[in-house]
Amino acid sequence: MTDRSDLGGETRPSVSVLMPVYNGAEYVAKAIDSVLAQTLTDFELVVVDDGSTDDTARVLASYAQDQRVRVVHHETNGGLVASLNDGLQACRAELVARLDADDMSMPTRLQRQKEVFDTNPAVVLCATAYVRFLPSGQVLREGRPPLTHGGLAMAMFTGNRLCHSSVMFRRSAVVALGGYDPAWFPVEDYDLWIRLMETGWYVGISSTEVRYLENPEGISASKSAVQLRYHRARTDSYRQSLVAAVSETEATSDTSRFRVRQIESMRRDLRRHMTDRGIPLDGVDDEAYRRAFETTLGRSRLARHAIVASAAPALWLRRTIRRGP
**Cross-strand partners of 168:** 97, 126
> Any idea which fold 15-218 has?
Spore Coat Polysaccharide Biosynthesis Protein SpsA; Chain A (3.90.550)
Contact between residue 98 and residue 26 where contact means Cβ atoms under 8 Å apart: no
What lies within 8 Å, CB to CB, of 62 at 6+ separation is: 29
Give the residue extent of every domain in the chain: 15-218, 243-323
Burial class (CB within 10 angstroms; exposed 0-12, middle 13-18, buried 19+) of 312: buried
What's the CA dihedral at 167, 92, 5, 8 to 10 degrees?
A: -170
Q: How would DSSP label each residue in 45-84? A: EEEEEES--SSHHHHHHTTTT-TTEEEEEESS---HHHHH
Q: What is the pTM of this model?
A: 0.91
Q: Phi, psi at residue 215, to the nearest 5°?
A: -90, 115
- From residue 132, alpha-carbon distances to 125, 136, 140, 143, 215 in Å are 21, 12, 5, 7, 10
What's the CA dihedral at 21, 27, 29, 34 to 10 degrees?
A: -100
Strands (E), 144-300: 167-170, 201-213
- H/E run at residue 18: strand 15-21
Each residue's pLDDT expressed in tens, for the chain with a length of 325 residues = 433 334 555 689 999 999 999 999 999 999 999 999 999 999 999 999 999 999 999 999 999 999 999 999 999 999 999 999 999 999 999 999 999 999 999 999 999 999 999 999 999 999 999 999 998 888 999 999 999 999 999 999 999 999 999 999 999 999 999 999 999 999 999 999 999 999 999 999 999 999 999 977 666 655 778 999 999 999 999 998 887 654 444 444 448 888 899 899 999 999 999 999 999 999 999 999 999 999 888 889 898 889 999 999 999 888 777 665 4
